A and B are shown apart, each in its own frame.
Chain A
Amino acid sequence: MKIRSMTAVLAATVVLPLAAAHATDLEVTHWWTSGGEAAAVAELAKAFDATGNKWIDGAIAGSGGTARPIMISRITGGDPMGATQFNHGRQAEELVEAGLMRDLTDVATRENWKEVIKPASLLDSCTIDGKIYCAPVNIHSWQWLWLSNAAFEKAGVAVPKNWDEFVAAAPALEKAGIVPLAVGGQAWQAAGAFDVLMVAIAGKDTFYKVFKDKDDTVAAGPEIAKVFKAADDARRMSKGTNVQDWNQATNMVITGKAGGQIMGDWAQGEFALAGKVAGKDYTCLPGLGVNEIISTGGDAFYFPLLKDEEKAKAQEALASTLLAPATQVAFNLKKGSLPVRGDVDLAAANDCMKKGLDILAKGNVIEGTDQLLSADSQKQKEDLFSEFFANPGMTPEDAQKRFVDIIASAD
């Protein structure tokens, strides 16, 4: 009896996907699984379902590092999904070069992507040999310092307005038993924090010379030495964090156990979820309050080349849905990111998002490191900075030497 009902259930699980596989079903893989992210994806699915197609959700838990290898092996292994998320930049470069991705130039010209997508560098990252291969959906910037107002109150110091004030306030925080700067143990967090410090302290030109031109003399120079000095401060201030995930580190700021965190604007979703109000409970400093520049990395959808004509049509429908003004607003409000279109109205945005939109409107933007460096160089950088932040015995000079090697060998 039990066995029979179990086989029935098993059979049902096998039959269901088959029955659901109509020609216009499109499986979309992504790694948006946290509460706020899932709510944002639901907006995309809703908009796509409204076009008469069906969004089959293929969420892969465990952040991009876990999801990307799965996506790539599905595409290269001959089992492509209908559409998939990547960070726009160079992550899917070789898949495009190998001819595994659909060319979206037709849709893009029809819908005038070149005009509406701001900043233009987003579309440039999707363009290889003059053809457009991806649809950017949002802008995420890394250059934010999130501060807990409660923690500074407890320590008896004013909430800092820039990085230097923050460093100066660190001893007072420590005395109050608060970790000044939360840095989670995952490697990408340390590497990301360094990139942020670089933009804030060494400025845009140096940033580009190092990461775009891969100029190793600049990387070895005094400007970058200053950045490593600041990273050394950050390392000292992060002692005692003892958490792994970025959202656990953000949670330390939310609960006032840590003074601040250098993290991208996705951290905002966590503050919102905890019911905190920007300006009252927490403070955000774009560009660490030093250099108000934000990077314009983010997420984009790529469409693997499929043989099925119906699915190809559905792919084009999805591409245009993703960039429709209504979808852009609904999605980005939930996600806490900025829209890729300059012509939509985000009246419901909170203080921090408005700061971001302002900077974007002023054009104080740079490309993200994902757009400038290959995944290989990014990984080497992660290895270096996760070691640097965990090992107080490693001097900033030694770290800079290794950094120069990475830049010199970057492609």
Chain B
Amino acid sequence: MTGQAHTGRPRRMLRNLSSKIASIPMMLTAVVIFLGGTIWTVVYSFTNSKLLPRAKFVGLDQYERLWDAPRWIVSIQNLAIYGVFSLVFSLVIGFVLAALMDQKIRFENTFRTIFLYPFALSFIVTGLVWQWILNPEFGVQSVVRALGWESFTFDPLYNARIVIYGVLIAGLWQGTGLVMCLLLAGLRGIDEDIWKAARVDGIPMWKTYVFIVIPMMRPVFITTLVIIASGIVKVYDLVVAQTSGGPGIASEVPAKYVYDYMFLAQNLGQGFAASTMMLVTVAIIIVPWAYLEFGGRKRA
């Protein structure tokens, strides 16, 4: 995705020759499978392929149908909501947890393990667990009601308007631990002397974090961002396990649309068009960012 900047000077090409030779298989895989597969998909998204791919081109028909489909629109909206909130919350919660862990607390290892544990579970398991927890019949709602608060209502998975937040809760529970660990590693990489200097200058702790430490952790943040973002775009199994897109079509996501139309509806063309749109969305976000990140540095 990130695309290394190649300088292309012959002197540099020959340096580390053996390691370059060793990476040829991976490069071939990347070019043939990823790039080739992508191009093939985009080309066939302009055809009316049904169960089997066939090269009968129909122009933009598949895309017109895609953007007319209410389910696709709902999917895109859900992805936007899920994406923004999961990005913001997992970074904020993850960073706060990491900062708290960094205070030389006792039992740090234990806490770290607890917070990271959900990440060891697959999205399918996470989805099922949270489906049960959020089920009004025997989950949170029934527990609170049993404690005496009879009118308490909390059933996000059965309410079309807020169902995507129910999915979001599960996603955050699963993913925040990893973010915390990555950021904690970043915090540990900050030189102790910087903290000492800040303390000597009498800068309050939160200011040290916001204005000194966080800017210094930029590379870690970028890594984290890429990991979170790729998780967001491909979210699928969580929704399948938790709501299977319901109630109705209220928690559909683009990846599920792609799968359903490619395999259940036996309409490859439509599925390819949808996956191409997903690629375009990612490209729209990645390209300007990559330009700023890498293009800018070269000029400087």
Q: Which residues of A contact B (CB under 8 A)?
A: 65, 68-69, 72-73, 76, 91, 93-95, 98, 185-187, 242, 244, 374-376, 378-380, 383, 386-391, 402, 405, 409
Contact = CB atoms under 8 A, between A and B. Distances in A.
16 contacts: A72-B263, A72-B266, A185-B246, A244-B246, A374-B266, A376-B267, A376-B270, A379-B260, A379-B267, A380-B265, A386-B248, A387-B70, A387-B250, A389-B248, A391-B250, A402-B70
B270 A185 contact: no
A187 B265 CA distance: 13
Contacts of A402: 70
Nearest to B72: A383
Contact of B249 (A376, A378, A387): A387
B264 A390 contact: no
Contacts of A187: 245
B59 interface: no
B249 A386 contact: yes
Given A94-B52, A409-B65, A383 B249 contact: yes
Contacts of B136: 242
B257 to A, nearest CB: 9
Contact of A390 (B65, B248, B261): B248
Contact of B51 (A72, A383, A386, A388): A72
Nearest to B71: A383
Interface string B57-92: 000000001001111000000000000000000000
Contacts, number: 79
B160 interface: yes
Main secondary structure of the interface of B (DSSP, over half): loop
B246 A386 contact: yes
A94 B248 contact: no
A68 B263 contact: yes
A153 B71 CA distance: 41
B195 interface: no
Contact of A68 (B52, B68, B264): B264
A94 B160 contact: no
B248 A388 contact: yes
Given A65-B264, A376-B50, A387-B71, 19 more contacts: A68-B264, A69-B263, A73-B263, A76-B52, A93-B51, A185-B247, A186-B244, A242-B136, A242-B137, A375-B265, A375-B267, A379-B260, A379-B265, A383-B71, A386-B248, A387-B70, A390-B160, A391-B247, A402-B70
Contacts of A98: 52
Given A76-B52, A94-B50, A391-B160, A378 B248 contact: no
Nearest to A70: B263
A95 B52 CA distance: 8
B209 interface: no
Nearest to B243: A185
Given A94-B50, A95-B51, A402-B70, A244 B65 contact: no
Interface string B253-265: 0000000110111
Interface string B210-253: 00000000000000000000000000000000001111111000
Nearest to B74: A387
A266 to B, nearest CB: 20
Nearest to A92: B51
B270 A390 contact: no
Contacts of A244: 244, 246
B173 interface: no
Nearest to A393: B160
